[in-house]
């Protein structure tokens, strides 16, 4: 049997962290192409803390981002990556010096960071293996919670119905930068688009829901219930920041943002009537790999 292996990389410059995913793409004769994750590197650089509070990326975080990109460049070379793409989301696109930083990174590291808008971000995420999870006769609300923005996408009868990006994210929430108006807008949008849909299930992505699913001990194909998610929210919320690190083993940059992330998921479940959430562990980086391969970005 003939087959060919390609190696691609995706860099996700987010609001709470920067990630690089390296994937093997296995092309097989008369069989579907396989996308296999080879490695994932995550560096906790909280660009959103700069962007959402003072409006620009600080020199300290520019230096850290430059170091991370140089490290990613070396890792790609060592792994013989043939194609890559780097995308930056809300923190970089809202910073007054976002494009200046991207130009500086390109000059200093050779890594070209594309600053994408919320609509493009949602479209890239939708190009992942999401469709493989969606049953034709059911309805789903897919939610990707980031540090600066959250993408909401409705699927019904196997089709994408509607998608919208809102300026709500974990870093914004811990800095108390989300108004009640934004919550009201999300509630109205979710209720409007879920009207008439039966037995909606959530599909969640992002580091926080991945961590909650890991803590549950469930296998990837098993969803989390609303009852479990609500219990986890109250359990973690009752603990101090340091207790979440020392007793649960959360990373310092996860221990604070996990609470607001759960709040977004729980409210979305309440407004849509969903009783369970599937956590397939896919996100923007997976979408970048798929989109690169399909030549759609």
CA distance 28 to 286: 20
For the chain, the domain total comes to 2
What is the pLDDT, as a whole number, of residue 126?
73
The verdict on 96 and 62 lying in the same domain is: yes
Residues 199 and 261 in one domain: yes
Indicate whether 225 belongs to any domain.
Answer: yes
Predicted pLDDT at 296: 59
The answer to whether position 235 is within a domain reads yes
Q: Phi/psi at 249 (nearest 5 deg)?
A: 85, 20
Task: Please check whether residue 124 lies inside any domain of the structure.
Answer: no
| Tokens (6 digits) for 198 | 């039966």
Question: Can you give the CATH number for the domain in which 104 is found?
Answer: 3.30.420.40
Same domain as 195, residue 61: no
Residue 219 and residue 106 share a domain: no
Looking at the structure, do residues 99 and 205 belong to the same domain, yes or no? no
Query: What's the domain range around 60?
Result: 3-119+285-293
Q: Are residues 99 and 24 in the same domain?
A: yes
- Show the tokens assigned to 85: 């793409």
Rounded Cα distance, 269 and 281, in Å: 19
Same domain, 70 and 9: yes
Whole-number Å distance between alpha carbons of 155 and 139: 6
Question: In this structure, is residue 111 part of a structural domain?
Answer: yes
Half-sphere exposure of 278 (CA within 13 A, CB side): 18
* pLDDT < 50 stretches in the chain: none
Statement to judge: residues 142 and 233 lie in one domain: yes
CA distances from 150 to 42, 90, 167, 214 (A): 20, 10, 7, 21
- Residues 86-136 pLDDT 10s: 999 999 999 999 999 999 999 999 999 999 998 888 788 777 767 667 777
Element (H, E) at 115: strand 113-115
Quick one: 13 and 114 in the same domain?
yes
Q: What local confidence, expressed as pLDDT, does residue 189 receive?
A: 98
pLDDT of residue 1: 60
Q: Are 106 and 137 members of one domain?
A: no
pLDDT given for residue 137 in this prediction: 80
Sequential DSSP letters for 8-33: EEEEEE-SS-EEEEEEEEEEETTSPP
Whether residue 10 lies inside any domain: the answer is yes
Does 83 share its domain with 9? Answer: yes
For residue 115, being part of any structural domain is answered with yes
- The predicted pLDDT at position 129 comes to 67
Please give, one letter per residue, the 3-state secondary structure of 133-193: HCCCCCEEEEEEECCCCEEEEEEECCEEEEEEEECCCHHHHHCCCCCHHHHHHHHHHHHHH
Position 198 scores a pLDDT of 85
Together in a domain, 58 and 199: no
Q: What is the pLDDT of residue 220?
A: 84
Q: Is 211 helix (H, G, I), strand (E, B) or coil?
A: helix
pLDDT at res. 38: 95
Task: Find, among 90, 264, 67, the residue nearest to 182 by Cα.
Answer: 264
Task: Output DSSP code: residue 253.
Answer: H
Instruction: Give the CATH number, domain containing residue 161.
Output: 3.30.420.150
Specify the pLDDT at position 254.
Answer: 96
Euclidean distance between CA atoms 229 and 209, whole angstroms: 9
């Amino acid at each position: 049997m003939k087959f060919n292996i390609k190696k691609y990389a995706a860099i996700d410059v987010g609001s709470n962290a920067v990630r690089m995913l390296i994937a093997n793409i296995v092309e097989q004769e008369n069989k579907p192409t396989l996308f296999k994750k080879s490695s994932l590197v995550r560096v906790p650089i909280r660009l959103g803390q700069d962007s959402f509070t003072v409006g620009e990326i600080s020199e300290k975080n520019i230096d850290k981002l430059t170091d991370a990109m140089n490290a990613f460049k070396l890792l790609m070379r060592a792994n013989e990556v043939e194609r890559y793409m780097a995308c930056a989301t809300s923190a970089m696109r809202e910073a007054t010096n976002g494009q200046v930083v991207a130009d500086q990174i390109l000059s200093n590291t050779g890594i070209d960071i594309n600053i994408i808008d919320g609509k493009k971000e949602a479209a890239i995420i939708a190009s992942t293996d999401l469709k493989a999870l969606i049953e034709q006769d059911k309805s789903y609300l897919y939610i990707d919670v980031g540090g600066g923005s959250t993408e909401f996408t409705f699927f019904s009868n196997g089709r994408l119905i509607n998608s919208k990006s809102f300026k709500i994210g974990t870093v914004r929430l811990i800095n108390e930068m989300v108004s009640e108006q934004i919550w009201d807008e999300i509630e109205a949008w979710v209720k409007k688009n879920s009207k008439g849909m039966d037995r909606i299930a959530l599909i969640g992505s992002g580091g926080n829901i991945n961590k909650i699913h890991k803590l549950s001990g469930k296998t990837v194909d098993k969803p989390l219930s609303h009852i479990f998610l609500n219990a986890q929210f109250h359990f973690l919320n009752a603990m101090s920041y340091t207790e979440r690190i020392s007793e649960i083993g959360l990373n310092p940059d996860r221990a604070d943002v996990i609470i607001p992330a759960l709040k977004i998921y729980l409210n979305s479940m309440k407004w849509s009537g969903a009783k369970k959430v599937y956590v397939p562990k896919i996100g923007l980086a997976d979408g970048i790999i798929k989109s690169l391969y399909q030549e759609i970005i």
